[in-house]
Amino acid sequence: MRAPASFDYAVVRVVPRVEREEFVNVGAIVFCPDHDFLASAIELDVARLTCLFPDVDVELVRQHLEALRLVCAGGAGAGPIGLLPLRERWHWLVAPRSTIIQTSAPHVGLCDDPAKALERLLDANVRPPGRPIAGSASSA
C-alpha cells in the first residue's frame, strides 16, 4: 500500500457579477502528481444559481465549466493548454482571473485516492449539507 500522497485542490466558483464578488461554489479541481492525477468534478445547481443571480446565462456557464473539464483531461480537444504537462495545466486552471468562472486559492491535503478526495471536497464545499443536488451533472 502506498503512503498518503500530497495533493493540491481548488474550489470552482461561478461569479456572475465579478464586480460584486459574490459567488456560488460549483465544483473542485484536484491535482496529485504522485498519482498522475488532474481532474475536476462539477455539480451545477441551476436552481440555486438562478435564485441568487436570475439573469445569469446558464448555457454560457455550462460551456466554461466544460472547458475546465477538458483542460483537466488534457489532449488536443482542450486546445494548446490541453497539450501542456499536468503541473502546467494545474497552474493555468488556478491562476487568478476576473471572469465568470474562478477558483479559490489553492490548498493542500493528503490522500490515498485523489478521486475520493475530490468527492469529499464536493461534500464539504459544494453540496448542500444533508441533501443531494437533484439533476446535477458530474464530470471528472
Q: What is the pLDDT of residues 46-101, one digit of tens each?
A: 999 999 999 999 999 999 999 999 999 999 999 999 999 999 999 999 999 999 99
Query: How many CB atoms sit inside 10 A of residue 87's CB?
Result: 12
- The residue behind cell 495533493 is 7
The pTM of the full predicted model, rounded to 2 decimals, is: 0.90
Q: What is the pLDDT of residues 11-53, one digit of tens each?
A: 999 999 999 999 999 999 999 999 999 999 999 999 999 999 9
Instruction: Provide the residue ranges of all domains of the chain, joining segments of one domain with +.
Output: 5-125
Q: CA dihedral in degrees (38, 4, 7, 21; nearest 10)?
A: 120
Coil, strand or helix at 34 = helix
Residue 118, exposed/middle/buried by CB under 10 A (0-12, 13-18, 19+)?
Answer: buried
Asked whether the predicted pLDDT for residue 131 surpasses 70, the reply is no
